[in-house]
Amino acid sequence: MSTSVTETHGVRAATAIQTAPQLSVDLAPGAKRELILRNPVMTASGTSSNGLELARLFDINRLGGLLSKGVTLKPRRGNPTPRIVETPAGMLNSIGFQNVGVRRLLSDAATVWETWDVPVVVNMLGDTVEEFARLAQVLDGAPGVAGLEVNISCPNLDVGGVAFGRDPVAAGRVVEAVVSSTTLPVIAKLTPDVTDIAVVARACQDAGADALCVANSFVGMSIDVNSRRPRTNRPVAGLTGPAIKPLALRLVWETAKAVDIPVIGCGGIVDGRDAVEFILAGATAVQVGTASFRDPFASIRVLEELIQYCRDNDVADVNDLVGALQVG
């Protein structure tokens, strides 16, 4: 950091000139197609629709990356209401993957994504391995699509989702099928609902995943003591928000130690220091999710606070923070 001296009304004042840190990160080193973000801050799937609304509030191209709302081959209506419940320091959701289907996504949203500079990664889900592969084929080469996030972790479904993510063999089969069906970078989104996340993480890496997202929502529930019924339409739902941050942080740390591919941290991030914690634990990038419901500008604020942290701590390159946690 250098310093310039200015003269103001005869008083010498030292003004710090702060150089912006290097923020770009590579989420798919060695992949068929690159996925380089201008900074580590992404949105999380399902929390900002397809980015079209956010783009009306701020320059969407300031973000490192954007995740689409999860998509399936055919449209889905999702679960009946009620499917959102506030909890202390978080929320439960049981949306059930409501979406317009991949063809409508490409015609309505991807045509807009194509005009953006920010890379958009499509979160995708199938009920079978074959459906995952078919989705990958449809999305491969689609204008505006920069990568695929394979959702093997959604807890609000009767089939697919977390059923694949709990089993390393099944998870590997899904990832392998997607990788063989696309030239796009492939990110596997893992469930926290496992005994040892490192086992599933290694299976996904061995199957060809370029990166891992850790983690999806935790399974929880809330009960109305007056009616003695669950507050969501299904007895259990996905818990997100600040309440899960310490748990997600631990999973990122364990995953990053187990694999040699980039890890994306997700779970309870609300400010820049949260993002730094995940990066120190081993995350190459982070996703901001539930915080955007309360503050649509949350992802931009996280980015600005991350940049300020780097400046305040003389961090010239954000990659120098990845896995820099000191233990012992």
213 is catalytic: no
For 242-298, the pLDDT digits (tens) are 999 999 999 999 999 999 999 999 999 999 999 999 999 999 999 999 999 999 999
Q: Which two tokens stand for residue 232?
A: 């969501």
| Nearest to 302, CA basis, from 327, 328, 266 | 266
**pTM (two decimals):** 0.93
Residues 6+ apart with CB under 8 A from 8: none
So what's the pLDDT on residue 117? 97
- From the list 154, 204, 213, 310, the catalytic residue is 154
Instruction: Report residue 163's pLDDT band, with 50, 70 and 90 as the boundaries.
Output: confident
So what's the pLDDT on residue 62? 98
So what's the pLDDT on residue 156? 63
Phi, psi of 31 (to 5 degrees): -75, 165
Residues 6+ apart with CB under 8 A from 33: 183, 184, 185
Question: How many other β-carbons are positioned within 10 Å of the β-carbon of residue 19?
Answer: 11
In order of 36, 96, 270, the CA distances from 134 in angstroms are 25, 21, 35
**Can you point out the beta strands (E) in 133-278?**
147-151, 186-190, 211-214, 218-220, 223-224, 229-230, 237-240, 263-266
The SS3 call for residue 191 is: coil
The SS3 call for residue 122 is: strand
Tell me how many degrees the CA angle 219-153-160 measures, rounded to the nearest 5.
110
Residue type present at position 234? R
Please indicate whether residue 155 or residue 215 has the higher confidence score (pLDDT). 215
So what's the pLDDT on residue 19? 80
For 1-17, the pLDDT digits (tens) are 433 333 333 443 333 44
Residues 6+ apart with CB under 8 A from 29: 210, 262
Instruction: Report residue 18's pLDDT band, with 50, 70 and 90 as the boundaries.
Output: low
So what's the pLDDT on residue 5? 37
* CA 93/CA 141 separation, integer angstroms: 32
Please indicate whether residue 176 or residue 157 has the higher confidence score (pLDDT). 176
Parallel, antiparallel, or unpaired for β 36-37 and 25-26? Answer: antiparallel
- 248, 253, 254, 255: CA torsion to nearest 10: 90
